[in-house]
Amino acid sequence: MTVQTFVPGQAQIHLTESARRQALKEIERAGAAGIRLNLDESGCSGYMYVLDFVDEPREGDTRFDIDGIALYVPEKWLLMLNGLEIDYVTEGVNSLFKFRNPNATGECGCGESFTVHEV
């Protein structure tokens, strides 16, 4: 099941139920108010996803309220992240947040970074 939220006229970000549950656990453990989803211009393909715990928004952040989770995304990345689905999966012995971005036009071999056409 996918939990969906959106800001009218802006990007849509989706969390699976597994990702929502894990994010709530990690926010509580960190004593934070929410999570910021940011992009770093690095990696072998161009951009990497970065999740940080936050207590308040920064200038230029858009807030998504997703079933008890405050997710902050810098406005400059909204078009690149429109339609993004965040999942929490177990692969072998590792559990991690997995990002499925419909705007990505390529990924590096290790899956740590992605590229997009300029939007």
Please, what is the average pLDDT of the chain?
Answer: 82
User: What burial class does residue 59 get, using C-beta atoms within 10 Å of its C-beta: 0-12 exposed, 13-18 middle, 19+ buried?
Assistant: exposed
Per-residue burial over 62-80, b = 16 or more CB atoms within 10 Å of its CB, e = otherwise: bebebeebbbbbbeebbeb
| Domain 2-116 listed as CATH 2.40.50.140 | no
The answer to which of 10-19, 20-29, 60-69, 109-118 has the lowest mean pLDDT is 109-118
What is the pTM (predicted TM-score) of this model? 0.80
